[in-house]
Amino acid sequence: MIPLSIPNLCGNEKRYLAECIDSSFVSTVGPFVGRFEAMTAAAAGAEAAVATSAGTTGLHLSLLACGVLPGDLVVLPSFTFIASANAISHCGATPWLMDVDAGSWTLNPALLADELRRSTAPGPDGLIHVPSGRRVSAILVVYTLGMPADMDRIMGIAEQYGLPVVADAAAALGADYKGRNLGSLGPILSVFSFNGNKTVTCGGGGAVVGAAGPVLDMVRHLSGTARIGSDYTHDRVGFNYRMTNVEAAVGCAQMENLDRFVTAKRDIHRRYNEALIGHAGLTAFPDPEWANSACWFSGVIVPESGVDPVELRRRLNEQGIEARPFWKPLYLQQPYKDVPCSKQTVSEGIWSRIVTLPCSTGLSRADQDRVINAVLDATR
């Protein structure tokens, strides 16, 4: 079976893990954690980073540090992995779901501006969502598939309404926006994931990047059970959300190959597009002019009148090629069926027609050709 996306453990992973074992630093204290934070901040073009136990926990901490409170609403695109919404729910807040832009599958700035204009008003404690009476406390933007959203437009809207922005950049490490690194695009904090299927992995874990200062300091403070000083004194309810030295050791070895891995992802994406797009009505994942995607996943969009995507995935799996669907939008998920929601024209039109294809960074040209030929044969 050619798997969808597996880690490429081709560097110093074993060596660094042996150092952890030999030194006994296998938990949340150890030199690799700080080293990994520095490497992540540098890769994102940010001042500093805080390593966390997962991308989801990083989002949770970031929203709390930006002032999201129980009962609030947080703007979120509906076409995202459910973890983005769950991080909002963990704060006691509720997602306000908005549709995505057809040309990027990221938060639609025009829709965002229109929804805020029509549905909100200033209140004594901030911006109020008039239909529900709830405070709107933040925007959580998602860089879908490693593609940055149109951040200049989104940040302009956020500044107009006084809303902090957090970026779920889970799979976007290595991407850029108008030639600028992700750490310079305006969000107070950006969050990466290092799950096993990401371009760079720690086996698990995440990282929050941003400017050195009180907001990122709060993220670090909350991640370590809100402990102050060397004694067992805690000043608030915190969390045990720290990354282990073992995970960070793997991450350091992976980060040493970041550029090569992103190049491999983009090459696979390009080869699939060149060979498949236009055949049997297949179309490509979006590629807006403003960004250079990290190309986390590759695949095709099946036309509405073409081969059934479920059947296409079945045929590929029968040939030993793992092919999967992509995210079901949040407004269709049981926990979020009744939250505030805009019209979902784009999300509704695309989600069921997506077929993701193998795109591991170590995928050989021969296996790429095997995938291409199998898709061509299955869609004739």
Strands 233-234 and 227-228: antiparallel
Residues 6+ apart with CB under 8 A from 356: 4, 297, 298, 299, 323, 324, 325, 326
3-state secondary structure of 301: strand
* Contact (Cβ atoms closer than 8 angstroms) between residue 127 and residue 153: no
Give the side-chain half-sphere CA count within 13 A for 287.
Answer: 14
Q: What tokens does 307 get? A: 């081969």
Across-strand partners of 206? Answer: 52, 193
What is the Cα–Cα distance from 17 to 28, expressed in whole angstroms?
14
What is the Cα–Cα distance from 241 to 61, expressed in whole angstroms?
9
* Contact (Cβ atoms closer than 8 angstroms) between residue 72 and residue 94: yes
Amino acid found at 285: F
Backbone phi, psi, residue 138, to 5°: -170, 165
- Range list of β-strands (E), 199-345: 206-210, 227-228, 233-234, 291-292, 298-301
* Contact (Cβ atoms closer than 8 angstroms) between residue 83 and residue 206: no
What is the Cα–Cα distance from 271 to 359, expressed in whole angstroms?
11
Amino acid found at 228: I
Question: Which residues belong to the active site?
Answer: 198
